[in-house]
Structure 1
Amino acid sequence: MVTLIFSFFTTSLLGFSKSASAAPSLDVAAEGAILVDAETGKILYQKNADKLLAPASMSKMMTEYLLLEAIDKKKISWDQKTSISEYAHKISQNRTLSNVPLRVDEKYTVRELYQAMAIYSANGATIALSELIAGSEGEFVKKMNAKAKELGMKDFNFVNSTGLNNKDLFGNHNSGSETDENMMSPRATAILAFSLLNDHPEVLETASVPRLKFREGTDDEIQMENWNWMLPELNSGYEGVDGLKTGSTDIAGNCFTGTVKKGDTRLISVVMKTGTRLDRFKETKKLFDFGFANFEKEQILPDNYQVKGNKTVPVVKGKEKEVKVATKEPLSMVIKRGEKENYKPKFVMDKKKMTKEGELTAPVKKGEVVGHINVEYTGSGEDYGYLLNGETKGKTEVVTTQSVEKANWFVLALRGVGGFFGGLWSGAVDMVKGWF
């Protein structure tokens, strides 16, 4: 009886231990989804990440990127005013779509139109901005596709600036057929959001505004409420959410690219083709809860860290024959909780700086970059890698910690002579060994 009880207790304990250490599962009710660390692009979860889907108005993130880039390059300014074309005007009058009505006899500032686009997803305002930046929406679409390629996006195709189906553009579509719509995979959408947040973080100043009056104090005044209901002030509020872009069409279903920050960790999520407008936020909440419950930001390597077996690099033609190397900066990453020991450093030399024999050539300056350290996951769980291949984040540079001057000709000559006689001696020894 005692043996039976002990056996049952042991079996139960082992079963509990197994379930407690099992990798957490997540079921996201969306056609495609992805969750990434906004600082490094490290993927924490993915579902059908490379499936081509319609992003609807999440496409406007690319329009935002190109607009903010044009502002930075001083091609346009926030206070600059622009007229409204007949095309943009006609789209803006369709209140079955997300819009603020625009007038052809008025001029609007870039800031007004941008706020309408970023907060209220206004389609007419988006078209007006695309025309201002590129001369026509057709030319702007070319810029969208070119920029997507430049950012490293692979699965995508833009046919308009808004994310609407081309059939809703009253015959004004400049790319694709009448039934075409912009297409992106969850991964491509995440790369776009990642690039937008890192290259133009000011996007959050507007994306985080819950409500704003368009043309306040005029006859055209409209109360705009942000379609991102996960902003803390709105009805699906989630602490720390401050962006980014929703989308909804018949083909796309309901989509959302969200971003949230807690402490020093920011996450980016994408859910594509959920059932209802509310569902896209419910599924995003699952992703955010999963991310913060199972991952944390940890310092993996301090500055001046030296990899065992790679604390020095050989030097030729120098006063010293080797130089010490170490990490230039500390490396912190969002990793699985309790698995810090499963992230192992690996030193990767910069072959362009080395001879074929893996040596540096003197003179060598202090602080010279000689390679980098990758951190590899060696645990049993699944590692999804990074959004972008060759991503420079998630690794840290290795530099020399001292300088090495070039040896003078006399020292080099003596080394040459020593090498010559050393070679003769080795050859003689080998010959004598051969006699016996």
Structure 2
Amino acid sequence: MKFSNVDLSDFDLKKRNSDKKNPKNSKKIPVVLGTAFLIAAILTAIFFLWSASFFKTQNVKPLSEEQNSSLNAFLDQTYSLKRSESLKPLPYPIVAADLEVDSGAAILVDAKNGCILFEKNADEVIPPASITKLFVMYIVFKEIENGNLSLDELVAPPENSWAINMPSDASLMFLGQGQIVTVRELLTGLAVASGNDAALALAYKISGSTKDFVARMNYEAKILGLTHTHFEEPSGYSEKNVTTARELAEFCRIYINRYPESLRDYHSAKEILYPLGKNLPSWQKAKGDSTAIYQRNTNPLLGKMEGCDGLKTGFIYESGYNLALTAKRNGVRFLSVTMRGPGTGSKQGNFYRVKDGTTLMEWAFSSFADYIPENKIQKNYPVAVPGAKTKFVNLVPAWTNAVTVPHISSQTAAEDAENVTAEIQLPKCIYGGTKLGAVYGQIQYKLGNTVLETVPLVADRTAQKAGLWGQFWGKLVCLRIR
């Protein structure tokens, strides 16, 4: 096909004539482009203004009561060992300590988190002897907490709790006929003098009979998960009362953490003087305080070991010399239980109680200290959730237990604890929604380059995925945040 004869000048002339006739055609394209640019600019501005709200993480909505309950229930189930009151291993490996402990069974734990630092035959079933009385005190405090009893409530000791009706070798606070004694005084009699008579008097006061009170003791042991602990009577006199060093330590930790006033008001008391004139029956009132019997606390380390403020001794021939011991220094508390302690007679038995208790406690305080996360980290970490129906969620630590810090590099364990760092690893955003309890970050507690513990950071709520349009814009927001 040939176009050699076409005159292009005629074509250009016609086009110029057409433009002169329709001047709008030449201006149409710039207007369209300008409008498109303006719309794009407006949309961009709107997007940036809207997406900026995702940076205001302080606007995260607090959980409702129902949501908070769901979160705690999920965490308690998923991280049951870490969040429970059970004893647990340290979260990092250590070389087992070679300690000279003469007791047949022993265990040492960090009272704040339940981490086991040392153990020896801790699962051997042994009679607790008078340490049984701690369970009596636990139930008394529970009754007071529930409003069923008060410390100043008066108790008339039943006949079978009178000192004259007790076995000749029983420990006593010396209750007698016609006496009037308060619950507070009976607790002191249990903690200081290890009175079998006080145990019986409280059993009758709470349950109406020894049998029913012992059933209560076994019920409490069961709900605490103490599967090898069983009681036949409340004073510890019977060898049929049994437990293990591990379960006894677990119980003691629960007891002092729930009722710390027991240490201050009772277990650290150095002496008891009873009965005073106010306790005597009318026919003995004239004697005043002259009949009072002075007894020192049975704990041989009370007043001798720095920071010792409890807990309880126990002895019957079938158990040997037992000791539940606790001490606190510079905010750090350790708890030990030694059972089947050797010795012929109380003097020798106490010698080994002191020796083993001192060995365990001094090693613990020189080798470990506590780092308290709650004092160092946030309770929650808000994170944006673009592409979801909820803008923000909080990431929360799955647990906030104290971290037992080993003495590695500093001059003291306490200095090592001060040098622990918490490395928080968080996503800049979470696209498309979250699931309650799902892990989206972590906290690493480190001493130098040594990781002591890693704690998951989990979503405190479910954030449902948005629709397609919301997901599209959410993707853009996530790209901007990142």
Q: TM-score, normalized by length of structure 1? A: 0.68
Change (3 A) 1:335 1:117: same
Match of 1:239 among 298, 301, 306: 306
Within 5 Å, which residues of 2 pair with 1:165-314? 165=238, 180-204=239-263, 205-216=265-276, 217-232=288-303, 237-275=304-342, 276-298=349-371, 302-304=376-378
Match of 1:114 among 187, 198, 210: 187
Within 5 Å, which residues of 2 pair with 1:45-124? 45-89=118-162, 93-124=166-197
| C-alpha separation in 2, matches of 1:287 and 1:358 | 53
| C-alpha separation in 2, matches of 1:71 and 1:241 | 26
Contact 2:313/2:323 (8 A) holds in 1:
yes
Match of 1:336 among 394, 401, 406: 406
Query: What is the aligned partner in structure 2 of residue 318 from structure 1?
Result: 389
1:360 counterpart letter in structure 2: T
Q: How far is 1:400 from its partner? A: 6.0
1:248 counterpart letter in structure 2: F
Contact 1:151/1:191 (8 A) holds in 2:
no
Change (3 A) 1:377 1:41: farther
Greater Rg over alpha carbons, structure: 2
Question: What per-residue deviation string (whole Å, max 9, x for no partner) do you get for residues 210-245 of structure 1?
Answer: 11211234354111210011111xxxx111100000
Question: What per-residue deviation string (whole Å, max 9, x for no partner) do you get for residues 297-340 of structure 1?
Answer: 23579414999xxx9697763366x8673649976422221188
Question: What per-residue deviation string (whole Å, max 9, x for no partner) do you get for residues 389-421 of structure 1?
Answer: xxxxx98684669x99878767348689x9xxx
Q: How far is 1:250 from its partner? A: 0.8
Query: What is the aligned partner in structure 1 of residue 105 from structure 2?
Result: 32
| C-alpha separation in 1, matches of 2:188 and 2:441 | 42
| C-alpha separation in 2, matches of 1:200 and 1:305 | 25
Change (3 A) 1:124 1:284: same
List alignment gaps of at least 5 residues for structure 1: 1-20, 166-179, 348-356, 384-393, 419-436
Query: What is the aligned partner in structure 2 of residue 158 from structure 1?
Result: 231
| C-alpha separation in 2, matches of 1:324 and 1:74 | 37
Change (3 A) 1:305 1:108: closer
1:239 counterpart letter in structure 2: E
| C-alpha separation in 1, matches of 2:126 and 2:440 | 39
List alignment gaps of at least 5 residues for structure 2: 1-93, 277-287, 343-348, 410-415, 426-430, 477-482
| C-alpha separation in 2, matches of 1:81 and 1:397 | 51
| C-alpha separation in 1, matches of 2:472 and 2:387 | 14
CA RMSD of aligned residues (A): 4.3
What is the identity percentage for the equivalent residue pairs of Structure 1 and Structure 2?
26
Count of matched residue pairs: 350
Q: TM-score, normalized by length of structure 2? A: 0.62
| C-alpha separation in 2, matches of 1:87 and 1:323 | 62
| C-alpha separation in 1, matches of 2:121 and 2:135 | 22
SS in 2 for 1:183: coil
| C-alpha separation in 2, matches of 1:69 and 1:358 | 47
2:253 counterpart letter in structure 1: F
Change (3 A) 1:66 1:371: farther
Contact 1:304/1:328 (8 A) holds in 2:
no
Question: What per-residue deviation string (whole Å, max 9, x for no partner) do you get for residues 329-366 of structure 1?
Answer: 9764222211889999999xxxxxxxxx99516xx9xx
Contact 1:298/1:334 (8 A) holds in 2:
yes
Contact 2:389/2:463 (8 A) holds in 1:
yes
| C-alpha separation in 2, matches of 1:395 and 1:142 | 42
Question: What per-residue deviation string (whole Å, max 9, x for no partner) do you get for residues 67-86 of structure 1?
Answer: 11111112111221222222
Higher strand share: 1
Query: What is the aligned partner in structure 1 of residue 469 from structure 2?
Result: 411
SS in 2 for 1:45: strand
Question: What per-residue deviation string (whole Å, max 9, x for no partner) do you get for residues 37-58 of structure 1?
Answer: 1111111111111111111001
SS in 2 for 1:218: helix
Question: What per-residue deviation string (whole Å, max 9, x for no partner) do you get for residues 354-389 of structure 1?
Answer: xxx99516xx9xxx99789687999xxxx9xxxxxx
Contact 2:97/2:118 (8 A) holds in 1:
no
| C-alpha separation in 1, matches of 2:462 and 2:202 | 56
| C-alpha separation in 1, matches of 2:398 and 2:95 | 36
| C-alpha separation in 2, matches of 1:334 and 1:290 | 14
Higher helix share: 2
SS in 1 for 2:187: helix
Change (3 A) 1:158 1:359: farther
| C-alpha separation in 1, matches of 2:214 and 2:298 | 24
Change (3 A) 1:138 1:299: closer
| C-alpha separation in 2, matches of 1:317 and 1:121 | 62
| C-alpha separation in 1, matches of 2:292 and 2:327 | 31
Within 5 Å, which residues of 2 pair with 1:6-25? 24-25=97-98
Contact 1:304/1:327 (8 A) holds in 2:
no
Of 145-154 and 298-307, deviating more is 298-307
Question: What per-residue deviation string (whole Å, max 9, x for no partner) do you get for residues 136-170 of structure 1?
Answer: 111111111111122222221111101002xxxxx
